[in-house]
């Protein structure tokens, strides 16, 4: 299977994961506690939709771009973010609260195996250089972490304007 095909499969896995979260996470988060911050369904769904659309654009760009290009590192960094997302928060919160966190099943069954395979293949095929990825991957992860609260704020603002 080509790296492009693997990237597309991984992207479909992420879209399934984001759909599961969009469907179930807002209600789960409403039972706020130590491990949960309540987020309104429209606000969360807006952020998930924007990040999903961005990831599809990155996947398409990486599929037509040269190895070692910016798109390859954006793709690999996004993959890294989703692989890390399996452990923090999904597994950690599920174990700590002894309650299923929405998105854990799709994270474990799709994102972890497909993401790990994608990263190994990207390195072995020299689509990304491990040394460059050592700083570029975490930078993409950080950008996504910063984007989430900004997207939530924008989603709340858009929701207030449309009300």
pLDDT of residue 146: 97
Q: How confident is the model at residue 106 (pLDDT cuts 50, 70, 90)?
A: very high
Q: Are 75 and 97 in contact (CB under 8 A)?
A: no
Q: Residue 35: pLDDT above 80?
A: no
Share of the chain above pLDDT 70, in %: 98
Quote the number of domains for the chain: 1
pLDDT score for 32: 58
Q: What residues make up the domain containing 145?
A: 3-162
CA–CA distances in Å: residue 75 to residues 34, 62, 85, 93 = 32, 7, 15, 26
Q: In this structure, what DSSP letter does residue 36 have?
A: B
pLDDT, average across residues 101-125: 97
Q: Which of 20-34, 101-115, 119-133, 140-154 has the lowest mean pLDDT?
A: 20-34
CA distance 160 to 156: 6
User: Residue 83 burial (CB < 10 Å; 0-12/13-18/19+)?
Assistant: buried
Q: What is the mean pLDDT of the chain?
A: 94
Phi (first) and psi of residue 36, to 5 degrees = -130, 140
Residues 6+ positions from 58 with CB-CB distance below 8 Å: 71, 74, 75, 78
d(CA 108, CA 126): 26
**Per-residue confidence (pLDDT) for residue 92, from 0 to 100:** 94
Unique residue bearing structure tokens 């209600």: 27
pLDDT of 71 strictly over 90: yes
Provide the pLDDT for residue 31.
82
Alpha helices by DSSP H, listed for 70-129, are: 70-85, 92-97, 104-106, 112-124
* Tokens 């603002």, residue located: 157
Please provide residue 98's backbone torsions phi and psi, each rounded to the nearest 5 degrees.
55, 35
Does the pLDDT value for residue 159 go beyond 90? no
- C-alpha Rg value of the chain to the nearest Å: 16
């Amino acid at each position: 299977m080509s790296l492009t095909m693997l990237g597309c499969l991984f992207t479909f896995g992420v879209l399934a994961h984001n759909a599961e979260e969009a469907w179930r996470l807002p209600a789960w988060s409403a039972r706020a506690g130590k491990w949960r911050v309540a987020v309104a369904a429209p606000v969360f769904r807006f952020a998930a939709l924007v990040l999903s659309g961005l990831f599809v654009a990155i996947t398409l760009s990486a599929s037509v771009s040269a190895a070692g290009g910016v798109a390859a590192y954006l793709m690999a960094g996004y993959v890294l973010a989703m692989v890390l997302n399996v452990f923090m928060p999904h597994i950690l919160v599920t174990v700590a609260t002894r309650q299923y966190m929405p998105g854990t099943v799709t994270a474990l069954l799709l994102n972890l195996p497909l993401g790990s395979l994608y990263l190994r293949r990207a390195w072995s095929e020299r689509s990304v250089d491990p040394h460059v990825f050592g700083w570029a991957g975490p930078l993409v992860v950080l950008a996504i972490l910063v984007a989430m609260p900004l997207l939530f704020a924008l989603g709340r603002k858009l929701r207030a304007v449309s009300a």
